[in-house]
Structure 1
């Protein structure tokens, strides 16, 4: 599992298929990443679990494709 300390605010989040799925707003607790609502097509915050993170370099890379991420993430108003 990736260390939460490797994930920083404003990092781009990319799905396994290379598509952009969001930008890190901040960590929500120790197990979820909250994405910015300003970068969201529906204007909402979305939460993704750290278990979906494959690796972190200049970006946060997920182990799911973008369609799966968007179907399975948690949406907040």
Structure 2
């Protein structure tokens, strides 16, 4: 999957099509999610690019949204 299609401000959704967050930027082999929005709780989070299933105007993950948010890494430590 070419991850250079992932752009800032794209919506990130789980395999259940529910929101996970919004792309802030691609940071190495992770997507750094924006800290704004109800899912973020005011903090940046990292999700691995390996979770990306498809990019088509949105970033679709292979995990359902609850699983993705349970496993994301905080980026503001």
TM-score calculated relative to the size of structure 1: 0.91
Q: How many residues align?
A: 75
Q: State how 1:20-39 maps to structure 2 within 5 Å.
A: 20-29=19-28, 31-39=29-37
Could you list the structure 1 runs, at least 4 aligned residues long, displaced by more than 4 angstroms after superposition.
none
The equivalent of 2:62 in structure 1 is 63
Unmatched 5+ residue regions in structure 1?
Answer: none
Structure-1 separation of matches of 2:5 and 2:75 = 24
8 Å contact 2:30–2:49 — kept in the other structure? yes
Matched, 1:48 2:47: yes
Q: Distance in 1 between matches of 2:63 and 2:22?
A: 16
